[in-house]
Amino acid sequence: MPIDFLLNILVAGLLTGLVYGLMALGLSAIFGVMKVVNFAHGDMMVVAMYATYTLYTAAGLEPVAALPLVAAGLFVFGFALQRGLVNRFINATEHMQFLLLLGVAMVITNGTLMVFGPDARNVQLDYAFDSYNVGPLIVDKVRVIAAGVAGGTALLLAAFFRFTVTGKAIRACADNFTGAQVVGLHVNHLYAVTFGIGAACVGVAGTLLLLITDVHPHLSTDYTLLGFIIVILGGLGSLGGALLGGVLVGLSEALSGALIAPSLKSMFSFGLLILVLLLRPQGLLGKQA
């Protein structure tokens, strides 16, 4: 096997992995604070992709320019969803939360099908076809951008949780729910903010993903599952873990695709998931429960 082929594969896997990681950040943030597993994760991303598509076709906004708008829109969506629906179930059993969000997911998937129809949609931009030549390597421009945004978003989130008052308060809720209530924090509000932030991350990911893949309503389930694999690998609730999990899945897909058979590559991801669930259920970077 030629060495430059292998190098190209590794770089592609790494970049794709970072994009995956970006996608999983929101899922991880929401779980880390609320212990709610968002089964509508992929659906929220599909909504973000359609929003980007609509902004591009209707208002001529490029995805990169639309990014803050979509993120803000998704923040509002997440905030409202938490306030209106999820919050009632904050103390319900895990499977009830799971089923609730499954219901939300079904409504969104079929809602997008009814509104946008089944056709795949995309934005056609010249730079979506560009790549950089670095020695023997050919590096995809869009993935480099997305990977950079992924790292930046993770840093921003970490800074938010560490340095801002709201961020600290959210962490307090996550660490000690009752304690947070006792000292007078608006737990409900903080939860809604967290859900909004998680959704905003999904929005960012969806916007960039539209440059890589086309959107159609049935994309969602696969991305939800992929998101789960990634965050469980990295550790639910850990931001760095989400990126690490993404990179691991990206690399495992790349290597199993290159060395064994591409059609088997997601089997390896599920295999990885099973192993981690059994051997280290808190994930690679997760805290012991």
Partner 1 sequence: MSKKSEILSAKPISRRLFTGGIAAGAALAATGLPTRRARAAAPLKIGVLLPRSGHLALIGQQCQRGADIAVPLLADMGHSVTLMNADIESSPDVARTQAEKLIREGAHVLMGAFQSDATAAIAQVAEQKGIPFIVNIAADPAITEQGYKFTFRNFPTSPMLGMGGMSLFKDIFAATGTTPKTAVLMHVNDSFGMSMLKGIQALTPKLNLPFKIVETIAYDPKARDLSIEVAKAKAAGADMHMVVSRLNDAILMVREMVKQQYEPMGIISPGSPGMYEKQFFKALGKYSEYCITNVPWFDPKQEMTSVLGAAFEKAYPDQSYELNIGFTFEAVLIAADAYKRAGSTDSKALAEALRASNIAKRVMIGGPIQFDEKGQNKNLKSAAVQNRGGKPVVVMPKESAEMAPVFPMPGWKARS
Partner 2 sequence: MSGVSENRVLAGSPSTGEAARGGLIADVPRRALILLGLFAALLLVAPATVGDYLLSVMILVLYYAYLGLAWNVMMGFAGQFSLGHALYIGLGGYTAGALFVHYGLPPWFGMVVGAAVAAVMGGVIGALGFRFGVKGVYFALLTIAFAEFTRILFDHWGWVGASSGLYLPVEYRDTDDLWLLRGSATMFYYVILAMTAGAFILCHWLLQRRVGYYWQAIREDQEAAQTLGIDVFRYKMIAVMLSAAMTAIGGVFYAFYYNNLYPETIFSMHRSIELMLGVIIGGIGTLFGPILGAIVLTTLGEMLTGLTEDLGLDGIKQMSYGVALLVIIVYRPGGLWPWLRRRLGLEKPR
The answer to whether 62 touches 56, Cβ cutoff 8 Å, is yes
Q: Which residues 119-158 are close enough to bind partner 1 by CB under 8 A?
A: 119-120, 122, 124, 128-131, 133, 138, 140-141
Neighbours of 116 (CB within 10 A): 17
Q: Which residue has the tokens 């076709």?
A: 57
Residue 218 as a binder of partner 1 (CB under 8 A): the answer is yes
Residue 278 as a binder of partner 2 (CB under 8 A): the answer is yes
Mutual angle of helices 187-209 and 3-34, in 10-degree steps: 160
Q: CA-to-CA distance for 107 and 113, rounded, in angstroms?
A: 10
Q: CA-to-CA distance for 216 and 270, rounded, in angstroms?
A: 24
Residue 117 as a binder of partner 1 (CB under 8 A): the answer is yes
Residue 68 as a binder of partner 2 (CB under 8 A): the answer is no
Binder among 102, 125, 139, 251 for partner 2 (CB under 8 A): 102
SS3 135: coil
Residue type, 268: F
The answer to whether 41 touches 86, Cβ cutoff 8 Å, is no
Binder among 61, 225, 255, 284 for partner 2 (CB under 8 A): 225
120 binds, among partner 1, partner 2, none (CB under 5 to 8 A by kind): partner 1
Binder among 98, 121, 177, 255 for partner 2 (CB under 8 A): 98
Interface residue list for partner 1 (CB under 8 A): 2, 5, 8-9, 12-13, 16, 110, 113, 115, 117-120, 122, 124, 128-131, 133, 138, 140-141, 212-214, 216-218, 222-223, 226, 253-254, 257-258, 261-263, 265-266
